[in-house]
Amino acid sequence: MNYKDLLDITKKHGSPLYVYDSEKIRSQYDRLTAAFSNVKNVKINYAVKALSNISILKLVNSFGAGLDTVSIQEVKLGLLAGVHPSDIIFTPNGVSLDEIEEVSAMGVQINIDNLSILEQFGAKHPEVPVCIRINPHVMAGGNTNISVGHIDSKFGISIHQIPHILRIVENTNMNINGIHMHTGSDILDVEVFLYASEILFDTAKHFNNLDFIDFGSGFKVPYKEGDIETNIEEFGEKLSKRFNSFCKEYGKELTLGFEPGKFLVSEAGYFLARVNVVKQTTSTVFAGIDSGFNHLIRPMLYNSYHDIINISNPEGRERFYSVVGYICETDTFATNRRINEITEGDILAFKNAGAYCFSMASNYNSRYRPAEVLWHEGNDYLIRKRETFDDLVKNQIEATFFKKQLVPA
Ligand SMILES: *Cc1c(COP(=O)(O)O)cnc(C)c1O
- Using pLDDT thresholds of 50, 70 and 90, give the confidence band for residue 195: confident
State the distance from the centre of ligand 1 to the C-alpha of 258, rounded, in angstroms: 9
- Select from 6, 1, 4, 5 the least CA-distant residue to 271: 6
Q: Which residue has the higher pLDDT, 261 or 190?
A: 261
Q: Is ligand 1 within 6 A of the CB of residue 259?
A: yes
> According to the model, what pLDDT value does residue 403 have?
77
Q: Ligand 1: which atom is nearest the Cα of residue 263?
A: 9
Q: Kindly report the average pLDDT of the chain as a whole number.
A: 93
State the distance from the centre of ligand 1 to the C-alpha of 135, rounded, in angstroms: 14
Helices (H), 156-251: 162-172, 190-204, 232-250
* pTM, rounded to two decimals: 0.95
- Using pLDDT thresholds of 50, 70 and 90, give the confidence band for residue 219: confident
Which CATH number does 22-262 carry? 3.20.20.10
Q: Tell me the C-alpha distance between 98 and 67, whole Å.
A: 21
Q: Is ligand 1 within 6 A of the CB of residue 355?
A: yes
Q: Ligand 1: which atom is nearest the Cα of residue 218?
A: 7
pLDDT digits 0-9 by tens, 57-108:
999 999 999 999 999 999 999 999 999 999 999 999 999 999 999 999 999 9
- Using pLDDT thresholds of 50, 70 and 90, give the confidence band for residue 184: low
pLDDT digits 0-9 by tens, 95-152:
999 999 999 999 999 999 999 999 999 999 999 999 999 998 876 554 444 445 566 6
Mean pLDDT of 161-189: 88
Sorted by where each begins, the domain ranges of the chain are 22-262, 269-386
Architecture of domain 269-386: Beta Barrel (2.40)
> According to the model, what pLDDT value does residue 188 have?
66
Does residue 328 carry a catalytic annotation?
yes
Helices (H), 39-92: 54-63, 72-80
Burial 63-83 (b: 16+ CB within 10 A, else e): bebbbbbbbbebbebbbebeb
- Using pLDDT thresholds of 50, 70 and 90, give the confidence band for residue 192: confident
> According to the model, what pLDDT value does residue 404 have?
74
pLDDT digits 0-9 by tens, 285-314:
999 999 999 999 999 999 999 999 999 999
